[in-house]
Structure 1
Amino acid sequence: MKSLPFASLPCQRPSRWLALSLALVALTIPMSARAQERLLRTLTVTGQGRESIAATLADVTLGVEVRESSATAVQAEVARRMNGVVNVLRSRNVEQLQTTGISLQPNYEYRNNQQRLVGYIGTSTVSYRTPSNEAGAVIDAAIQAGATRIDGIRLTASDSAISTAQKVALQAATQDAKAQADAVLAALNLSRQEIISISINSATPPTPRPLMQRAEAMAADATPIIGGEQDVQASVTLEIRY
């Protein structure tokens, strides 16, 4: 009897693999549908949190402005006055003391459409940080030492207080989001399951509150400065399966 060539022998392996592949596809389709159904049964809520903190610090910018007929006279008087101001500020143990500006410019007078040089204007400014409850007394002392202008005061909280308040605000925002989800699901006779995702949208530190932009310094009674409070706000988004 003549034997058949090897290539003509029937092969069962491809059909077995095909049957196995079809079985796996049949199992995968319902599993995928169930996964999609679980994904669709989600609720997304965003909660808000807020924490108030005391503005215990004041960032102050002040300086000296002098007008004289000559540039050398202006510069000498500016230096004399500013040295007195800096010495007073250092004696008050202010923090972050630094020079923020020095300028010298001609001072012109305009009459009958003509420009005439009448002298020079010199300025020197410094900034520093001090407790807000001491800010008024420090400003008064600086004015007595020679300061002639206050360029700005901003009230803020300490870094540690802001950091703590941010954590508290985030916790409040998370609880708010959960409470919103529970209220909605309860109205639909549904219950909250696991949390699928968490997003921290913001935990915003308070913006320092400007007390004034610019004012001429004048001798007066003790200057009252009240720090007040600032708000730290946070926002959290939860995706919850039900």
Structure 2
Amino acid sequence: MIKKSINKPIVSYEFYERLGLFLFISSFLSLISVSSVVAEPEPARTLIVTGNGMESIATTIAEVELGVEVKGKNAAEVQQEIAKKTSVVVNVLRSKDVEHLQTTGVRLYPNYEQVEQNSGQMILTGYTGSNTVSFRVSIEQVGVLLDDTVEAGASRVDGVNFTATPEAIFNAKKEALRKATINAQDRADVVLDTLNLTSKEIVKIEMDDARLEQPQPFARDAMYASEAKVSTPVVAGEQTVEASVTMQITY
């Protein structure tokens, strides 16, 4: 009996390669068609609003800068006189328990005068020297203390600035930020309510460091104080702390 052999069809490698390419192209085209019908998400709508806050606090501390100024013919004598008068002034300040007492400047310079008008020739006429100190004291004490230092030998008062205590300033900064935050939220609510829109969430918050405004400095003539029969009146003002907060809100 003769058996016939049956030849099975042989699939070539090229067939599989073409089939794979066909399937890849079909899948790619199907993805393009699907993505073309999917709607792109709408961009988030945001409102950016800034709020401001302000808090005023009473000043209770005076920052004073004063000193001794002397003129003379000899530099060494001028410097010696400054040292003597400054020592007396400093002792008075220490007896009053002032805070942060420190030297802020020591100067000694020559003085010249022109010999004849428009001649350009200058001659030495003497020297001027000064020594200045600064300190902090309560506002209730500063008026009397200015008079006492002038009587002790101080011949210049360069300025008096008023400030609140560090604790009061810290609390005022927090309150100003709180008010700024509420103000920003209120402004956003007004805008959205007017347009019949609803806020969703706050996605970003920015805040400026609270700014501290100094009250008007107090300046006076030291020579007037030496002639005064009553203590110099000093009236302190207020310090204002300002802050701002910016919010980005989706709706």
Over 3 Å counting, the alpha-carbon distance change for 1:84 and 1:16 in structure 2 is farther
In structure 2, the residue matched to 1:228 is: 237
Looking at structure 1, the residues matched to 36 and 92 of structure 2 have their Cα atoms a distance apart, in angstroms, of: 85
Structure 1: gaps spanning 5 or more residues? none
In structure 1, the residue matched to 2:3 is: none
Residue 18 in structure 1 maps to residue 25 in structure 2: no
In structure 2, the residue matched to 1:197 is: 204
Looking at structure 2, the residues matched to 24 and 133 of structure 1 have their Cα atoms a distance apart, in angstroms, of: 81
1:101 to partner: Cα distance = 0.9
For residues 71-150 of structure 1, the aligned pairs below 5 Å read 71-113=75-117, 114-150=121-157
Instruction: Name which of 203, 216, 239 aligns with 1:209.
Output: 216
| TM-score of the pair, normalised by structure 1 | 0.87
Question: Match for 1:161: what amino acid?
Answer: A
Partner SS for 1:87: helix
1:24 to partner: Cα distance = 7.3
Over 3 Å counting, the alpha-carbon distance change for 1:125 and 1:24 in structure 2 is farther
Residue 55 in structure 1 maps to residue 96 in structure 2: no
Partner SS for 2:232: coil
Over 3 Å counting, the alpha-carbon distance change for 1:99 and 1:23 in structure 2 is farther
Looking at structure 2, the residues matched to 136 and 196 of structure 1 have their Cα atoms a distance apart, in angstroms, of: 53
Looking at structure 2, the residues matched to 23 and 137 of structure 1 have their Cα atoms a distance apart, in angstroms, of: 90
* Larger gyration radius, structure 1 or structure 2: 2
Choose 96-105 or 131-140, whichever is displaced more. 131-140
Looking at structure 2, the residues matched to 141 and 23 of structure 1 have their Cα atoms a distance apart, in angstroms, of: 93
Structure 2: gaps spanning 5 or more residues? 1-6
- Does the aligned pair in 1 maintain the 2:201–2:249 contact within 8 Å? yes
1:204 to partner: Cα distance = 0.9
Looking at structure 2, the residues matched to 216 and 116 of structure 1 have their Cα atoms a distance apart, in angstroms, of: 30
1:192 to partner: Cα distance = 2.5
CA-based RMSD of the aligned residues comes to 2.3
Q: Identity across aligned pairs (percent)? A: 41
- Does the aligned pair in 1 maintain the 2:147–2:231 contact within 8 Å? yes
Residue 180 in structure 1 maps to residue 190 in structure 2: no
- Does the aligned pair in 1 maintain the 2:215–2:238 contact within 8 Å? no
1:20 to partner: Cα distance = 7.2
In structure 2, the residue matched to 1:238 is: 247
Q: How many pairs align?
A: 235
1:6 to partner: Cα distance = 2.3
Over 3 Å counting, the alpha-carbon distance change for 1:96 and 1:16 in structure 2 is farther
Instruction: Name which of 33, 44, 47 aligns with 2:41.
Output: 33
Over 3 Å counting, the alpha-carbon distance change for 1:216 and 1:112 in structure 2 is farther
Over 3 Å counting, the alpha-carbon distance change for 1:229 and 1:208 in structure 2 is closer
| TM-score of the pair, normalised by structure 2 | 0.84
Over 3 Å counting, the alpha-carbon distance change for 1:69 and 1:191 in structure 2 is same
Looking at structure 1, the residues matched to 36 and 233 of structure 2 have their Cα atoms a distance apart, in angstroms, of: 79
1:167 to partner: Cα distance = 0.8
1:66 to partner: Cα distance = 0.7
